[in-house]
Chains A and B, each alone.
Chain A
Amino acid sequence: MTNALEVEDLRKRYDDVEALDGVSLTVPEGSFFGLLGPNGAGKTTFINVLVGLVRASGGEARVFGHDVEDDYRLARDRVGLAPQEFNVDRFFPIHEVLEHKAGYHGVPHGEAAARAERALKQVGIYDKRDTRFDWLSGGMKRRFMIARALVTEPDLLILDEPSAGVDVQLRRDLWDLVTDLNDDGTTVLLTTHYIEEAERLCDRVAILDSGRVRTVATPTELMDRGTDRVVVTLRESTATARDVLDALPDDDRVADVAVEDDRLVVTATQGGLLAPDIVRELDRAGYTILDLAIERTSLEEVFVEMTRHDDADADDGGVPADDPDTETVAAGGVDR
């Protein structure tokens, strides 16, 4: 299968700042790929290199096999971008803006008009077709950005923070729309601050920080790297805490065991898989379990933990310590 995106050692330097510091990524065709990272991580720079708004200082990027600089026309023909900023032609009503955009992509006028109508209906603002962009509400503006990306019927749809500043209903509408598009074969590259969005939509996510890819994994794999909490309520008093702790399995996954409010709290990776062992060992030691709850770590917690760790590294000398995940990515470990 062709890859929608192949990026190798991509670099972009602005004066003394490495906005992209050797990014390598592969996004398979048909996937729903998330790009997560804090502000200033390089997400938008990365996207802008793909569509020709930023020229890379080094490395290579290919869209469906077409180099974004040498074969820029073929590469751009396949991409639809909904950027974070509202960069829309304010001189014309929105249906004409869409017709123009389709026209720049070589779509004849009649077909362009039909596509514009379709795109506006898809995002639910067809009744505003004769309005200029400035007169749309904030939510409608965000919807229009999606419509403009869709009007060229792209094979790779890039959404840069599509949910920024939109209400819950619109966010869910957008999710439904892009999920349908992805189901129909469109590859989606999504950058977002809303971790829940990535968790819910993406097949795989890359975490970008300080211009470098920290890791690439499925949301589930990432959550497995975080620490869950297994909370056990016993019939017996936890006054004999030392005995209770001794009864627990000796396992590398266990990070901490503590007694909180008369309940036993085991902090561990893959808490769900560890829970049966905990039950067995406690039962063997003669304890009766009244209740057991597994508090799963969220992707957001994993994300914060990873980027917090990186901040500490940066303070130490600017270059993060070697991360096995990063090595995996650089070696092409994201291939599927």
Chain B
Amino acid sequence: MSGGRFAVDATGFLTLAKREILRYLRRPWNTFAPPFITNVLYFSVFGVILGERVGTITGVPYILFILPGLVVLGAVSNSFENSSFSIFHGRWNEYIHEVLTSPLSYTRMAWAYVLSAATRGLLVGGLIAAIGWGIISALYRPVPVEHPLYLLASLSVIALLFSGLGVVGGLIARDFDDLTVMNQFILRPLVFFGAVFYSLEDLTPLLRDISLFNPMVYMVNGVRYGFLGVAEVDPGFSLVVLGGMTVVVLAVDVAMFKRGYGLTD
């Protein structure tokens, strides 16, 4: 038995968040090596080799143009994968019962999964930014960070949003195949059509309008604004849209935990 409700709230939440973070920190070859290698390849092939031919987009060298998009790509996929995998794996092997049978509130359970996954998203996003900074600074010029606070806010909201979506994915998945479908057939196309590797100006008016329904566009746009100070969509509007979506998704997460969706019979 515990010492009291406050102790359960604070200690229980911190314990679950710590458990979730330690799970991926102790497996760096699984957590950090893949994005490291993938992004070194991205920067080398797309940025350096192809970038020489592309020249500049919206007034910045191509390798610098794709940097924000790659940071978003890493943050989004790691946030989503972490929360969805952790919850689904716990359900699959039923060890999530260790949490569910505890006196921790459903709200704090959901928040612990979201925040720990978002932390992974930010760490991987930071890793990719560091790789890009290293390569670009060595070959061209230092990478600017024009609006650091906006950049931090934007990346945080993105990581929270996709961690929250990952919680939904982890709760509704019935098989590992479902996670693969969500990641490869939904998330990845959204990212690649989210103006990571191209400018919206290169699209026809119709495709440009359709693209504006893709939330990834606002994310890439916002992070690009934070780094480079250039934006194709109003950065304030981008942040508001993303913030609103995040609030809705997190509310859904908490509601699903309270209802026991995917967790209880």
A positions within 8 Å CB-CB of B? 14, 48, 51-55, 72-74, 76-79, 81, 83, 85, 87-92, 97, 99-101, 103-109, 112, 148, 152-155
Secondary structure at the B interface, as helix, strand, loop or mixed, is helix
**How far is it, in angstroms, between the C-alpha of A148 and the C-alpha of B7 when the chains are bound?**
20
Task: Note all chain B residues with C-beta closer than 8 A to A53.
Answer: 97, 100-101, 264-265
Q: Interface size of B by Cβ–Cβ distance < 8 Å?
A: 34
Asked whether B252 is an interface residue with its Cβ less than 8 Å from the other chain, the reply is no
Contact present for A106 and B94 (CB under 8 Å): no
CB pair B103–A106 under 8 Å, yes or no, is yes
User: Is there an interface contact between B15 and A89, defined as CB atoms closer than 8 Å?
Assistant: no
Q: Could you tell me the distance between the alpha carbons of A185 and B102 in the complex, rounded to whole angstroms?
A: 22
Contacts of A83 in B (CB 8 A): 97
A87 to B98, CA, bound (A): 8
Which residue of the partner chain A has the closest CB to B26?
A91
Decide: A55 and B264 in contact? CB cutoff 8 A: yes
State how many angstroms separate the Cβ of B79 from the closest Cβ of chain A: 19
Q: Could you list which residues of chain B lie within 8 angstroms of chain A, going by C-beta atoms?
A: 1-5, 7-12, 14-16, 18-19, 22-23, 90, 93-95, 97-105, 260, 264-265
Asked if B19 and A92 sit within 8 Å, CB to CB, the answer is yes
Residue pair A77, B2 in contact (C-beta under 8 Å): yes
Q: Is B95 a contact of A88 with CB atoms below 8 Å?
A: yes
Indicate which residue in B1, B16, B101 contacts A153 across the interface (CB closer than 8 Å).
B1
Q: How far is the CB of A34 from chain B (nearest CB, A)?
A: 22
- B101: chain A residues within 8 A (beta carbon): 51-53, 76, 79, 81
Given known A-B contacts A52-B264, A53-B100, A87 and B11 have beta carbons under 8 A apart: no
**Cβ distance B65 to chain A, nearest Cβ, rounded Å:** 39
With A85-B94, A87-B97 given, is the CB distance from A103 to B1 under 8 Å?
no
Q: Which of A14, A55, A154 contacts B1 (CB 8 A)?
A: A154
**Are A76 and B103 interface neighbours, CB within 8 A?**
yes
Residues of B within 8 A of A148 (CB): 98
B2 / chain A contacts, CB cutoff of 8 Å: 77, 105-107, 152
A108 touches B11 (CB 8 A): yes
User: Looking at B7, B9, B19, B104, which has the most chain A CB atoms within 10 Å of its CB?
Assistant: B19
Say whether B95 contacts A106, CB under 8 Å: no
Whose C-beta in chain A lies nearest to the C-beta of B94? A87
CB pairs A–B below 8 angstroms (17 shown): A48-B265, A53-B97, A54-B265, A55-B264, A73-B103, A74-B103, A81-B101, A87-B93, A87-B94, A103-B14, A103-B19, A104-B98, A105-B1, A105-B102, A106-B10, A148-B98, A155-B1
Residues in B with CB closer than 8 Å to A107 are: 2-3, 7, 11
Q: Which residue of A lies closest to B4 (CB)?
A: A106
A91 to B19, CA, bound (A): 10
A101 and B102 in contact (CB under 8 A), knowing A55-B260, A87-B97, A106-B4? yes
